[in-house]
Amino acid sequence: MITGIGVAVPEPVSQQRLWEDFFREHFADSRLARRVFASAGVTRRHTVVNPLTEPPTHWSTAERMSRYGVEAPLLGRRAVTAALEAADLDVDAVGMLVVASCTGYETPGPDIRIAASLGLRPDTRRLLVGHMGCYAALPGLGSVSDYVPARGRAAVLLCVELTSLHLQPPTTDPQQVVTHALFGDAAVAVVVRPGGSPGDGDPVTGAPGETVPPLEVVDLASHTDAGTGEHMTWRITDLGFRMGLAPEVPDVLAKHVRPVVEELLARNGLALHDPVGWAVHPGGPRILDTVRDELGLPESALASSRAVLDAYGNCSSATVLLVLDHLRGTGALVPGAYAVALAFGPGLTLWAALLRVPGG
């Protein structure tokens, strides 16, 4: 049962200012770059490394990883603390910590550093989910959801992504233009507790004056089209990690998203019209349009996804959790209601989670 979500982000910077004061020159004021930045669906992003004040364009990978080692545990700790407070859970009750991140490496990793800084018990299980990319939150959610009923203890999933560390040198590559127009930094943590815990099924306190519903993780599904693996890549270079993002990605997604979602729903006795909430990873405007059209959803079903894209950009694995957090606050998820979370990433891989509000 998801009973708390915590969000932590660094300082915001507006998309317009990023374009005008840095990326316009970075991309030689090309018409393509101007159009991509204007149509990305992003108004602001959050960055631990702001290119307006300290552009990491020519930082070595070692320099970028050193910064990751400082920033990721700090941001992650804030998110986990917020999630535990939202769930009204003491750190001693946490039996497992799962950390997903594809934007940095170090050992001891952020899982160890965050566990130590929070004072988690020495016997707390830790799992580090690395380099899965934008869909990593859902297999991470599957791991904690399997652990919780098996062990009768609470678990925490943390997604922490610092994409701003991987700003690449100037280029005319359209894929790099799209990448740099979309991505931002965020950490989001989710607390999962055993069903039947005191207060489960009751609204959870959120922002002042607000309540948000707990969510049961009902089922998960995944599909990988390995033949299209080169359409989305995340390569380690001497100058950080470089993303490849082919324009064919929405077409591959269009082929698979409906069959995967329909099968997930059908084995739980549901059809496409049954879920009232949709938390779709906003990989970009075209991705959201593709999901809407292939599933036959009204545009309103993507309101939370577009709101997160607008306010945060694409924050890799943390993004679908940002969307889920936004969706929980809309009031649409009443007792008994179902929701579907969808995320996509390298592979090409699609993950789906079926969620339900207890009661009803």
Question: Which amino acid does the sequence have at 62?
Answer: A
Helix crossing, 61-87 with 110-118: angle to 10°?
40
* Res. 76: pLDDT tops 60: yes
Does position 202 have pLDDT exceeding 60, yes or no? no
Half-sphere exposure of 237 (CA within 13 A, CB side): 17
Q: What is the CATH number of domain 2-192?
A: 3.40.47.10
Same CATH fold assignment for domains 2-192 and 214-356: yes
- The model's pLDDT over 1-15, given as tens digits with 9 standing for 90+, comes to 999 999 999 999 999
Output the CA torsion sign for 236, 237, 241, 244. Answer: negative
The full set of domain ranges for the chain reads 2-192, 214-356
pLDDT tens digit sequence for 280-307? 999 999 999 999 999 999 999 999 999 9
Query: What is the average per-residue pLDDT within 145-158?
Result: 98
Fold that domain 214-356 belongs to in CATH: Peroxisomal Thiolase; Chain A, domain 1 (3.40.47)
Q: Give the model's pLDDT for residue 265.
A: 98
How confident is the model over 120-146, as pLDDT tens digits?
999 999 999 999 999 999 999 999 999
Peptide bond before 348: cis, by omega within 30 degrees of 0? yes
- Catalytic site residue from 102, 134, 159, 315: 134
Q: Give yes or no for residue 99 having a pLDDT over 90.
A: yes
Structural tokens at position 303: 């309101």
Q: How far apart are CA 250 and CA 351, in angstroms?
A: 15
- DSSP conformation class of 131: S
Whether residue 210 is predicted with pLDDT greater than 90 in this model: the reply is no
Among 300, 328, 317, 173, CA closest to 243: 173
Q: What is the pTM of this model?
A: 0.95
Please report, to the nearest 10 degrees, the dihedral formed by the alpha carbons of residues 114, 118, 119, 120 taken in order.
-70
Whether residue 209 has pLDDT greater than 80: no
CA atoms of 96 and 287, how far apart (whole Å): 33
pLDDT score, position 196: 56
pLDDT in tens, 29-71: 999 999 999 999 999 999 999 999 999 999 999 999 999 999 9
134 is catalytic: yes
Residue ranges in 51-136 assigned as alpha helix (H): 61-87, 110-118
Report the distance separating Cα 207 and Cα 203, nearest Å. 12
